[in-house]
Amino acid sequence: MAFTWHPYARPELDGEGFVVTQLTTGLFYRVSGPIVELLSTMPFEDFNEATHAWRRRTGASDAESVSVEKTWRRLCAAGLVVVAPEGVSHAAAMPPLVVSVRTASRLDRFVEMQDFIEDDDTESADGFSGQDEGPDPHDPYGM
């Protein structure tokens, strides 16, 4: 048993974060912050052990650890990270990342790639990401 990306989740490293396309739902996600450092070490057998190793490697603070755990739960709930069945081989982990900008971990969801691009443009222009707007009324999955 090991935690790994869902077979239908397509993560791509984009700067210091991941852009993930979930093929089963058609949703797009941006994963950012210190959680990226932990995800770069997947697959791993035990979340708690991986978290402790990540904290030792990066010197992460308690606040960063809390945001990583919350974002991890959101990744699992969204079906992006799963426990692989026994006997399934796993790709080797990439070299562990260390992000240069220490902000809270985040998982942002987008219904369409155009929304993702527009949000990226808006965030870079005014520093606002739109995360506090509440649930998207156009999201049929209610996530």
pLDDT given at position 111:
72
Please, what is the average pLDDT of the chain?
79
Rg (CA), the chain: 15
CA 75 to CA 33: how far, in whole Å? Answer: 13
Which residues on neighbouring strands pair with residue 2, listed in sequence order? Answer: 84
Residue 56 pLDDT class (50, 70, 90 cuts): very high
Question: 42: how many CB neighbours lie within 10 A of its CB?
Answer: 18
Residue 140 pLDDT class (50, 70, 90 cuts): very low
pLDDT tops 50 at residue 127: no
pTM: 0.72
Copy the structure tokens of residue 40: 């770069």
pLDDT tops 50 at residue 143: no
Contact (Cβ atoms closer than 8 angstroms) between residue 31 and residue 18: yes
